[in-house]
Structure 1
Amino acid sequence: MTTTSAHSASARSAPPRVLTVAGSDSGGGAGIQADLKTMLALGTHGMSVVAAVTAQNSLGVQGYWELPAEAVRAQFRSVVDDIGVQAVKTGMLASAELVETVAGLLADVAAPVVVDPVGVSKHGDPLLAQDALDSVRTKLLPVATVATPNLDEVAQLTGVRVTNEAGLREAAAAVLSYGPRWALIKGGHLARHTDGDGSGTDARTSGAEEAVDLLTDGHEEHWLRAPRHDNRHTHGTGCTLASALAAGLARGLPVPEAARAAKEYVTGALAAGFPLGEGLGPVDHGWRLRGS
């Protein structure tokens, strides 16, 4: 390499930096693995703090082991103090101790924070201790720029059970009461597609179904709609959406614009999801790279 080319290489600015604090998915479809793939696909530099390790595949979660709070704290400080971050995304934190440790670390970070309050896996396996729920409510959600719960997580955290699109407003209000600046309520688990009068057909049998999410800060509302694709391979959807949102925020997008871009990316990844193993395959994080 010549002196000129060496100088050009060293002068190249780094891409926006995004940190994920989450659990590892040994199957590669969700968790930190999904986060880093998403961050790369969206033009950012992904970094990680491993909070828990799972034994996980397409059939479910066979076990998980949380890391010591000291290890989580050391990873976080190592990255933030040297490299710096322009957005942070949290996922599986497993225990009250880890939730409170991470919340305390994030309280001193100026960058936007996306909190995905992971409680249950796609297969229904618990990923958060019951005694950690109060810590999520009182410690973690208050430091969030955006919280991104699905409907099961809304029910787990607030007791609000959403059965139709109109109920997304109540869910958002309940989540916002714990302190995040914005709530993105993911409506992908809605069992029914409702018309204006509350009637509708079962989402699993309705071909014209939409996947509807509500983003709000309690004042303005943004309804994010996309076609619901007939594809059972959806593992990692929530992690991917939260990471895509964090990537958009790291690039300087306002929250509503970052959420729309994340929704578009996830919709494409869902449509391109592929079979893997004997159970639920993952969404395709690289769908744009292949032009599909």
Structure 2
Amino acid sequence: MLSVLVPGGTGQLGHDLAALASADVEVTAPGSAELDLTDVGSVLKAVGALAERARETGRRPLVINAAAYTAVDAAETDERRAFAVNVDGPRVLAAACSSRGVPLVHVSTDYVFPGDADRPYEPEDEVGPRSAYGRTKAAGEDAVLGSGARAWVVRTAWVYGASGSNFVKTMVRLEGERETLSVVDDQRGAPTWSADLAAGLLELGEAIAAGRGPERRVLHCTGGGETTWYGFTRAIFEELGADPERVKPCTTEEFPRPAPRPAYSVLSNKSWVDAGLTPLRPWREALSAYFAAARR
């Protein structure tokens, strides 16, 4: 049985982790207002309370860090704040976990890679972030892995869910507002439903608690397959019963953003499967399940 602390608990991944609480998995998922990772005292108190609660109830403690500064474009002009949340916060959290003997799973991103590959990235591939957000997430990984804690980094990509703002929700809104949409068709990735990712992270947590934590400390976990933002949007329109021909392809050059996006950021799930963990379902199947759940 697990007792899990989830910083970033009000985000889309944190929300879905909390939803998976059960008799076997106790989840505490505070938002940043309740647990600010840049507040050292609050972090030490929260991890200490987790360790004590686990000891008293006979559960095994685990931290899954879902907190992050994810405003990719804003980070270009606010890198100091992004660094505080994505690097300093995880460093403090990992140190607290190390001091209390609590294992840590830290969630990271495809943006740590340069995006110029021609095949899915493996965990051991050299990172080379091209944005402030990516730089801070890469530095956060280093801080966690160098902390001395029993820590694992799980990189994921293109996450969407029922809580918070995300690409799927934006496209749903725009479908109702515009006759046609132009969407980038030269950036490739793997859409990942946060509910599937949450289940995968808890499976990893249970393996760690049982003493079967993967030897590899960096893993990749995304929805299966790959597509472009254009292909993703066409699929969203199909789920809405809208005409996908209303979605028009465009290039990154035609849709400039403050932060550069990786052109190719597909992550290989081989490391996840090799660790004996269940691969996430194909992204298109997950998208259908997401909309089916939303309609219930």
- TM-score, normalised to structure 1, is 0.42
Give the strand-richer structure, 1 or 2.
Answer: 1
- TM-score, normalised to structure 2, is 0.42
Give the helix-richer structure, 1 or 2.
Answer: 2
